[in-house]
Structure 1
Amino acid sequence: MARRIGSRYTANQVLGRGSAGTVWLGEGPRGPVAVKLLREDLAEDRELVGRFVQERSALLSLNHPHVVGVQDLVVDGTDLALVMDLVRGTDLRTRLDHERRLTPEAAVSITADVADALAAAHSAGVVHRDVKPENVLLDSAAPPGPGGAPPALLTDFGIAKLIDAPSRAPQPAAGSGARVPSQRRVIGTPDYLAPELVEGLPARAAVDIYALATVLYELLAGFTPFGGGHPGAVLRRHVTETVAPLPGIPDELWQLVLQCLAKAPASRLRAAEMATALREILPDLKGMPRLDVDEPHEPTAAYEPDPLPEPAKTPEERPRRGAVPLVHGSVPDSNRDTHTSMRVPSADELAGGPLGTARVPRVHGAPRPGSARARTAARVRRLRLAVVVAAVVVVTAAVVGWLAL
């Protein structure tokens, strides 16, 4: 059923639902548009709306071929909506769901497009803060690029900052001397959160580079470098573990991924540098097949920060690994908004001993460490070694005996 959005737009058909709102196929003065209508409980918070309106000029100024343009911001009663360019295609998460991983050429081509988008945003002073496959759209109406990859466009600028607006905590009575403790929380998608965000530091441009490098790793491997298990365990691994190398990845590409996943924000490339470096690597990736690796075993983490409570869900409603609704009480749909809100871990909780290595990907077909198959393989190797040693001893004795004659 069609509905009016402000005085200039009509929303005709729901394209998708997420924890932050609903995306509609709409019609405006200049033709078809995508309208992201945010939840009513968000639109009713006037302080939050005020913060979002302040970002209007920055969002409207982002004019780049790899950015889904924002045409308008509508604030009308309980309606708070972003009117965006309509992209004919699907999102990168949907493609990963179908293919699991991409060829290195296609993965690097898509990542370079997104890096170009981030370079434009960072130049305008805008930090995305939620770079992930769900927020990358693939334009199927445009000619494909290297590796057959459609042009990629980054969307949902401003949404993370809107949701991250501080809530109004009750203030103590004047003269009471009481202090209201501040509860710092980290808001974002666990698999893609930069370590400095986990430690409670402000979001700078480098957090987008870390997230994009995580997306590139996922496009190549089929899984993220620090994902798996409880969101709290994922956050801890971002801070305390180093990324494990991928078998079969070209060294030049791996060094770029490694640099962009550096724990220190200053060590990462800038967006424009990342885009240039990726495009320089592209010719060497032509014809290279998808990596043949298996996802590593998910370890059990000792530290699990307190997540926001969630209502019980049916199996059909349960999100995939690490998918926690951004807004309490919402149910992720096929778009799988994977934000979570958790308290910032303390320094002691993040310490956890010396820096270790994250889950090591396995060459396809190799047994999982500690599994019965792995133990059997180890016993076979020991038996073979014993046989070889015994044979060497017998041969050596025979040679010594012959020389003694």
Structure 2
Amino acid sequence: MARKIGSRYTANQILGRGSAGTVWLGEGPEGPVAIKLLREDLASDQELVGRFVQERTALLGLDHPNVVSVRDLVVDGNDLALVMDLVRGTDLRTRLDRDRRLAPAAAVAIVADVADGLAAAHAAGVVHRDVKPENVLLDMQGPLGPGGSHPALLTDFGVAKLIDSPRRTRATKIIGTPDYLAPEIVEGLPPRAAVDIYALATVLYELLAGFTPFGGGHPGAVLRRHVTETVVPLPGIPDELWQLLVQCLAKAPASRLRASELGARLRELLPLVAGMPPLDVDEPDVEPAEESETVAGETAAPARDRVRRGAVPLVPGAKPADSNRDTHTSMRVPAPDELAGGARGTARVPRATGAPRPGSARHRAVTRRRRVVLGAAAVALVAAAGVGTWLATSGDDAGATPQDSKHSAPASP
């Protein structure tokens, strides 16, 4: 059912739903548009509406081929909406759900496009704060690039910042998607441009591996890994690409590259990954105990009770894709002692196909079997050594005299 959005736009068809609102296929004075209508509770928040209007100039000023342009911001009664360019394609999450992982050349080319878009945003003083596959759109009408990749555009600029107002979250809350949150956000520091670089490097890792480096299980455990765990190497990629990933996933924000540097370096590495097939690594398992642990004051629901939130495609006819990435999760900032505890063996370690993940139930079963075998072997060796020793000492004692013994009793006076 069509509805009017302000005086200039008509929303005709729902394309998808996200954590912040609903995306519609709409019509405006200049043709088809995508309209993101924010949730009613956000529209009724006068402080947020004020911030929304204040951000108008920055959001409308972002004009780059790798950014989905915001054409207009509408504040009309209970309607709070962003009017954006319509991208005819799909989002990166849908592509990952279909293919699981991408060929390295396609992954590098897509992330280089997004880095270029971020560079333009950062130059304008805008931090995205929610870089993830759901917010990357692939233009299916654009020319094919390396590895058969389509041009990538970053969308939803400013939405996380608008929702994350001080009154709504206070300084003790985290707003974001746990898998992609930089360590400094987990530790309660203000988000700068470097948080986008960390999130984008996480996306690149996910495109290559099929899973994020610190994800899996309860969101609190994910947050802790961002602070305490070291990313584990991916087998099969050039060392130059791996070192680039490590630098952009550094715990210290100052150690990461700037967006413009990241885009340029990735394009330099494209010849190294040309023609490489997707990596062959298994996704780590999520332990049931890990899913039920309490971290940062939150207790996880059983996996079967969890609701998967959909990605939000901004394209005609696209269906929202199921995602296992919670979006805009609000949690309290973990205390230092909670973060210092480490990940308790829950790190998601890439491994060869068929090999058990360290710390998983299968890995523990294999380890127990090995211990039983080694224990039995050790007992057998000790027994054999004992028998040999007994035979040797028995043979010596049989032919010994009191005078020959070093520990014979002293002669009576």
The normalised TM-score by structure 1 is 0.82
Question: Partner of 1:342 in structure 2?
Answer: 331
Contact 1:62 1:121 in 2 (8 A): yes
Distance 1:383 1:24, change over 3 A: same
Within a 5 Å distance, the mapping from 1:94-133 to structure 2 comes to 94-133=94-133
Question: SS at the partner of 1:200?
Answer: coil
Deviation (angstroms), 1:278: 0.2
Q: Deviations over 1:82-140 (max 9, x none)?
A: 00000000000000000000000000000000000000000000000000000000000
Distance 1:357 1:44, change over 3 A: closer
How far apart are the structure 2 equivalents of 1:313 and 1:298? Answer: 10
Deviation (angstroms), 1:372: 3.7
Deviation (angstroms), 1:344: 0.6
Q: Deviations over 1:202-256 (max 9, x none)?
A: 0100000000000000000000000010000000000011101111111000000
How far apart are the structure 2 equivalents of 1:130 and 1:306? Answer: 23
Contact 1:242 1:357 in 2 (8 A): no
How far apart are the structure 1 equivalents of 2:346 and 2:109? Answer: 28
Contact 2:296 2:335 in 1 (8 A): no
Q: Deviations over 1:27-74 (max 9, x none)?
A: 111110000001111101111110111111001010000000000000
Between the aligned residues of both structures, percent identity stands at 73
Deviation (angstroms), 1:5: 0.4
Within a 5 Å distance, the mapping from 1:173-322 to structure 2 comes to 184-298=172-286, 304-307=295-298, 318-319=307-308
How far apart are the structure 1 equivalents of 2:299 and 2:155? Answer: 26
- Equivalent residue letter for 1:272: S
How far apart are the structure 1 equivalents of 2:274 and 2:197? Answer: 24
How far apart are the structure 2 equivalents of 1:146 and 1:46? Answer: 46
Deviation (angstroms), 1:371: 4.5
Deviation (angstroms), 1:303: 5.3
Distance 1:60 1:353, change over 3 A: closer
Q: Deviations over 1:156-185 (max 9, x none)?
A: 00110111012269xxxxxxxxxxxx6610
Question: SS at the partner of 1:242?
Answer: coil
Question: Partner of 2:66 in structure 1?
Answer: 66
Q: Deviations over 1:248-299 (max 9, x none)?
A: 1110000000000000000000000000000000011111011000122335
After superposing the two structures, state which structure 1 stretch, 10-19 or 372-381, moved more: 372-381
Distance 1:364 1:383, change over 3 A: farther
Question: SS at the partner of 2:284?
Answer: coil
Q: Deviations over 1:316-338 (max 9, x none)?
A: x8217xx99xxxxxxxx646562
- Equivalent residue letter for 1:115: A
Instruction: Note the residue ranges of structure 1 that are not aligned, 5 or more in a row.
Output: 170-181, 325-332, 385-405
How far apart are the structure 1 equivalents of 2:168 and 2:209? Answer: 42
Within a 5 Å distance, the mapping from 1:81-100 to structure 2 comes to 81-100=81-100
How far apart are the structure 1 equivalents of 2:345 and 2:231? Answer: 9
The normalised TM-score by structure 2 is 0.81
RMSD of aligned residue pairs (Cα, Å): 2.9
How far apart are the structure 2 equivalents of 1:74 and 1:309? Answer: 37
Distance 1:25 1:289, change over 3 A: same
Distance 1:32 1:289, change over 3 A: same
How far apart are the structure 1 equivalents of 2:321 and 2:105? Answer: 27
- Equivalent residue letter for 2:257: L
Contact 2:127 2:192 in 1 (8 A): yes
- Equivalent residue letter for 2:205: Y
Is 2:48 the counterpart of 1:54? no
Question: Partner of 2:13 in structure 1?
Answer: 13
Distance 1:375 1:290, change over 3 A: farther
Is 2:350 the counterpart of 1:361? yes
How far apart are the structure 2 equivalents of 1:335 and 1:186? Answer: 23
How far apart are the structure 2 equivalents of 1:308 and 1:363? Answer: 32
- Equivalent residue letter for 1:271: A
